[in-house]
């Protein structure tokens, strides 16, 4: 029995459609697998940069930065030139705001004021998830803040004459890494 030409054409079309359907299913399955792997396989990275305010003009309650302090604030800005901060925080004191200002201005951010005595670490972590954050504080608040982030008492108060410590805390999922760089 010889098949007629139109029937062969029908079979060929049906087979072609079937293979296209199978190929499309495989592509869809592969795409779904890759999407899920990318979406759920990657852990979110959050990085915090903690510094103490720069040198102040005197020991009054709310002093400005000294000339040396202004130079250091500008130096921090140069150090952070390649860091794409999402947020910049400082306590509500002239010296911390003035230390953060050159970097915040360069990054086109406004400085968010925080109170180190009334900060809920877990909610702060949730608010800043996936971001790079600069936090400017004081000789006693910065080490305490870092210790809260890393869940251990590793860092002591900063000496009064030390203004160049940079604490970096990185959270990747549940993993925490931390380091201190002494940039005097």
Strand-by-strand arrangement of the 132-137 sheet: 111-113, 87-90, 132-137, 45-52, 165-172, 175-182
The neighbour count for residue 53, using CB atoms within 10 Å, is 27
Tokens of 79: 């150090």
Residue 71's contacts (CB-CB under 8 Å, 6 or more residues apart) are: 54
Q: What is the DSSP letter of 165?
A: E
pLDDT recorded at residue 137: 98
Query: Is pLDDT above 90 for 21?
Result: no
Confidence of residue 24 (pLDDT cuts 50, 70, 90): low
Characterize the bridge pairing of strands 165-172 and 175-182: antiparallel
What is the value of pTM for the model shown? 0.78
170 pLDDT tier (thresholds 50, 70, 90): very high
55-107, pLDDT tens digit by residue?
A: 999 999 999 999 999 999 999 999 999 999 999 999 999 999 999 999 999 99
């Amino acid at each position: 029995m010889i098949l007629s030409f139109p029937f062969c054409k029908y079979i060929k079309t049906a087979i072609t459609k079937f293979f296209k359907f199978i190929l499309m299913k495989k592509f869809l399955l592969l795409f779904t697998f890759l999407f899920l792997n990318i979406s759920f396989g990657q852990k979110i990275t959050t990085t915090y940069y903690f510094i103490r305010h720069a040198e102040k003009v005197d020991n009054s309650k709310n002093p400005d930065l000294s000339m040396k302090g202004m130079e250091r604030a500008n130096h921090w800005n140069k150090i952070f030139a390649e860091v794409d901060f999402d947020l910049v925080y400082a306590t509500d004191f002239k010296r911390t705001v003035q230390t953060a200002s050159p970097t915040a201005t360069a990054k086109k951010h406004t400085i968010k004021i925080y109170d180190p005595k009334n900060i809920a670490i877990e909610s702060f972590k949730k608010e800043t998830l996936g971001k790079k954050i600069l936090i400017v504080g004081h000789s006693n608040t910065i080490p305490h803040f870092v210790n809260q982030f890393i869940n251990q008492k590793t860092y002591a108060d900063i000496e009064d004459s030390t203004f160049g410590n940079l604490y970096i805390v990185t959270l990747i999922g549940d993993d925490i890494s931390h380091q201190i760089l002494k940039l005097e």
